A and B are shown apart, each in its own frame.
Chain A
């Protein structure tokens, strides 16, 4: 195992472009799980980002909340302003692993680990977040919604580093996030869903129900229509199933079943909509 220690962001960009096999590491909570049996991980060269002060900040602009690449879940949990304006971020962060993981794990790391079960990603998607990638060649902004291509595949070149996550500031009427796991805490998600409503615009993003965490456009349209009294009122969870089936493709795996994931997604949304008077 080799660890590269860049002094500056410029160093980091150079190291990444010199060797396309370098893996950037922030908190390490995903990369170092199952250590040391995994030989692939043992022979990897890591780029340690933890010393890069440029990536550490979490800041507010007039129009955005900007999470630096080293912003941890805990940074968000402990920020009252985030809780007030983007409550879903706090709700999701509190359900990632245990406090130790929340204190080390980063939002950017959660994005690039690209797990379909990532707990940080649905809420970012539902808040329309954008990923900023930096490299020696400059910066590139990609909407998170367009970032994933397929299972563990994303629009990040090996020489690029996620430097920021930018979340637009809007007025939301509603925001909720539900995570269903095998137990109350320290669990990997079987099915999860984040929802925001801004005016008539619905954003619904789900995890563990497709090869990537994904937006659910059919569900968004369906819910917006029902809420705007343009559609049939909801009578049962199964009303949502056609939209769910067009948006997601759950599978049977070691953690749950396709049928369960689909049914529970429908039931959570149905009751959430009911609670909201939709």
Chain B
């Protein structure tokens, strides 16, 4: 099937928010704090500007509470008396001319009496930097399975390791952008986003408006990767406040510098492992500590931590597991959602640590993994019994075969012994990724989707899930077309507009195809039930037309709600039970070449083998995997957020390097398809999984090639030089 929006995107017809002309629009911009923490003493407006031309908004203009509604409402929409991070929004300006707006922004001086700030999340906060609770800890999570202390004492070997991962910038192609306007008394925002109903809730809360007094419309969205999960709520509030005060539409578009400086990044993390193993390589105890840098406000840190902690012990069976997780405050620009959502951090640590354990035991890293991979009937760290029929050993073996692991090992050994400065090796990572919201999250979301039978005989899909480059539009159409056996061009997809589509939940957590797709299948069933039979194809269309002939002027809407799969139970207090409805499983293999002159790492080959349940669309699925791997390559080797006082110093694409096409070989993608009974057509989540595996596979390969033990990403050449110097 042809991708729905392909021609519009290829021809440039697709209208992103920057492209949408709006009559009478003014431009908005944000005046931000230049210091990481302090009390606002004074705001001076330069005399060189005629301020009567401008609309100026500050915290006093909020009709409701000065809070961005999220997990905890601790983040102000606009700072009132204090700031907690550089680039924190203090004022908003609007003006018809963008150049004048820039001049005006430069003419505003926010004077702040600085207070002590904390930037290193790894150290205990000095008393004068405590800003949240009594200890700056946003969230604690603990998993306790079996008796870890006794098992560590009884183990033949205990292997320890500390692993650190850096922040990462999303680098969606389209920067953040939003327009706000008031239409018939309804505050409306339109822009680039993943979660229209998160924004809807944030607008209702801070603007003190009823459900039907705010409206959120998604414009074409050029990439999100989690960067448009939480931050657009802030931006939408800013655009709405300016529009309310200006009494006209106001558009805010971030340029790349502002976007990279002021919006969220992946949480930096440190993970400690203490692992008890038998001499034969059986893992008997895992003692793990996960620490996340949350930045200055809570945002999504608790749930990022939750996913990180649950994935920390890896796809292995162990009777004794303890994971202690904390997300802590620093005076950095808040960290937020990013593809993988905490799992890439802890999976990097776990998989790197597996190779270290293999080294310590003198075992083959493949053998160590084969011995410990979860088998059907065994359980994860939360006690979730896995019984999904996936052949996890075969996934590993397939990656080993396709990557020619053993043949290359011999060839690389010969190459390495003769080449003056190049060193090659293959590294692998085995991992899993839970699909959908964690724990009872999907139940709380209570998602609804609609399948509508139109009077034209066509079918309309109504969800709040967005196309952002991943192909959701196409996948949804395919699911419904195949379910009803009708032509894809007989299916429409409603614009994502909270006035017209129900809340089917956010477009995050690898949930869209699996969970919302399944809702659409059930919606088709419900529609057919109204039509009195299990119709398909031409018969379906005839029945639909007949219904409309019998019910002139009426709408035929089949709405379904999420129902948790049977047997899925979660104890959020004890962190026990079914953390996810299902998991996708994978083994990735990276063949690398390290240049000992420059300490640069070149990727020679990459094999990605995974079981994601039924593959709904081969091209889109492979695209997700390849894109995720490339994003992982960047995180592993070059994407370094350099922080100065909690703000990114290299907030531009000149000094923040993402992989170019020259840096990545073809990514060879293999799917196994063990169907999941509760996903659309048997699909599991796929979007985030590929972000998890590249970094550990690559760094394991570098370790094998050089004999060093790198434990950090990004493993830039400068870092590798230091690691090798101390090896």
Contact = CB atoms under 8 A, between A and B. Distances in A.
Interface in B625-663: 638, 642, 649-650, 652, 654-655, 657-660, 662-663
Interface stretch (A85-93, A196-204, A255-263): A255-263
Given A182-B638, A260-B717, A267 B600 contact: no
Contacts of A186: 660
Contact of A271 (B257, B421, B716): B421
Nearest to B421: A271
A235 to B, nearest CB: 13
A37 interface: yes
B662 A257 contact: no
Interface stretch (B116-124, B209-217, B502-510, B591-599): B591-599
A274 B652 CA distance: 39
A88 B599 CA distance: 23
B19 interface: no
Contacts of A278: none
A267 B655 contact: no
Interface string B581-613: 000000000000000111110100000000000
A183 interface: yes
A59 interface: no
Contacts of A274: 420
B660 A267 contact: no
A210 interface: no
Given A182-B638, A263-B721, A33 B597 contact: no
B359 interface: no
A31 to B, nearest CB: 14
Interface in A198-225: none
Contact of B721 (A34, A36, A181, A260): A260
A254 B649 contact: yes
Given A254-B650, A267-B597, A185 B662 contact: yes
Contacts of A183: 638, 657-660, 662-663
B657 to A, nearest CB: 4
A184 B638 CA distance: 11
A20 B102 CA distance: 28
A267 B255 CA distance: 40
Given A185-B660, A255-B655, A264-B597, A271 B102 contact: no
A39 B420 contact: no
A267 B642 contact: no
A53 interface: no
Interface string B238-256: 0000000000000000010
For the residues of B in contact with A, the DSSP-based class is loop
Contacts of A190: 717
A32 to B, nearest CB: 13
A267 B421 contact: yes
Given A37-B255, A183-B638, A271-B420, A256 B718 contact: yes
Contacts of A39: 102-103, 106
A268 interface: yes
Contact of B600 (A180, A188, A257): A180
Contact of B598 (A257, A268, A270): A268
A267 B638 contact: no
Contacts of B663: 183-185
A187 interface: yes
Contacts of A185: 660, 662-663
Given A254-B649, A271-B597, A182 B657 contact: yes
A264 B660 contact: no
Given A182-B638, A183-B663, A264 B599 contact: yes
Contacts of B102: 36-37, 39
Interface string A27-41: 000000110110100
A141 B603 CA distance: 46
B23 to A, nearest CB: 24
B622 to A, nearest CB: 23
Contacts of A188: 654-655
Contact of B662 (A37, A184, A263, A275): A184
A260 B660 contact: no
Interface in B408-441: 420-421
Contacts of B716: 182
A260 B718 contact: yes
Interface string B90-121: 00000000010011001000000000000000
Contacts of B638: 182-183
A218 B294 CA distance: 50
Contacts of A263: 721
Nearest to B638: A182
A177 to B, nearest CB: 14
A187 B662 CA distance: 11
Contact of A184 (B99, B103, B660): B660
Given A39-B106, A257-B718, A271-B421, A187 B596 contact: no
A226 B505 CA distance: 70
Contacts of B650: 254
A4 to B, nearest CB: 21
Contacts of A184: 602, 660, 662-663
Nearest to A274: B420
A84 B638 CA distance: 35
A6 B115 CA distance: 56
B398 to A, nearest CB: 29
Interface string B653-686: 0110111101100000000000000000000000
14 contacts: A39-B102, A39-B106, A182-B638, A182-B657, A182-B716, A183-B657, A188-B655, A254-B650, A255-B655, A259-B718, A260-B717, A267-B421, A268-B597, A270-B597
Interface of A: 33-34, 36-37, 39, 42, 180-188, 190, 254-257, 259-260, 263-264, 267-268, 270-271, 274-275
Interface of B: 99, 102-103, 106, 255, 257, 420-421, 596-600, 602, 638, 642, 649-650, 652, 654-655, 657-660, 662-663, 716-718, 721
Given A183-B657, A190-B717, 10 more contacts: A33-B654, A36-B99, A39-B103, A180-B717, A181-B657, A183-B662, A185-B663, A188-B655, A259-B721, A263-B721
